[in-house]
Amino acid sequence: MRGDAIQNPYEPPIESHPKLDFTRRGLTLVPKQLAERTRRVVNRFGLFQFSWPIVAAYWTDSLVIDFIALLITTNGSRIRRSSFKRFPWTAAMCCLYPVAFAVSVQQYDPYQVANWIPSRNSPVLALQLVSSCWAVYAVVMIIRCHLSHRRPEAEQ
């Protein structure tokens, strides 16, 4: 019998496949709780942003299908611990909604009560305000994950 250790024949040796050694490439993972919470926040924001204009279409007399919200929902459902390697495009898409709210406030009079409650001519500023606040929260969570991913593994 040989003195060599028995090696699993199905496991490739790391030294012969340097691409499989994740410690050499500096792969860091986002903490599990932060990734799960970010996934829930971003996914639910995308669903809310997609659904409220459809629900409010009766009051606004216009049906808006928000495809950016669908992209945010899709990206939110795909968030994992190893995400956030590249530029956070989902955060950039979420930043559109506070800008849209600011444009709505400039366009419509925010001091008129009829603009905040659902009525036949209402732009539903209240729902836009909720949406923009939620978008800012989603951006903060995505940026936290992105910065957490960039930290060395010892600090996590």
Stated pTM of the model: 0.71
Name the 3-class secondary structure at 9.
Answer: coil
In this structure, the number of other CB atoms found within 10 A of the CB of residue 3 comes to 4
Predicted pLDDT at 154: 41
Least Cα distance to 60 among 128, 111, 106, 112 occurs for 128
Residues present in the chain in total: 156
Predicted pLDDT at 45: 94
Give a yes or no: residue 8 inside a domain.
no
Predicted pLDDT at 150: 65
Residue written as token pair 């669908």? 70
Token digits of residue 138 = 């989603």
Report, as ranges of residue numbers, the positions in the chain whose pLDDT lies below 70. Answer: 1-5, 7, 11-28, 60-61, 110, 113-123, 150-156
Range of the domain at 56: 28-155
Quote the CA–CA distance of 51 and 8 in Å, as a whole number: 52
Give a yes or no: residue 4 inside a domain.
no
Predicted pLDDT at 92: 92
Give a yes or no: residue 10 inside a domain.
no
Give a yes or no: residue 18 inside a domain.
no
**Which residues lie below 8 Å from residue 57, measured CB to CB, with a gap of 6+?**
63, 64
44, burial (CB in 10 Å: exposed 0-12, middle 13-18, buried 19+): middle
In this structure, the number of other CB atoms found within 10 A of the CB of residue 28 comes to 19
Instruction: Report the domain count for the chain.
Output: 1
Predicted pLDDT at 138: 95
Quote the CA–CA distance of 147 and 87 in Å, as a whole number: 11
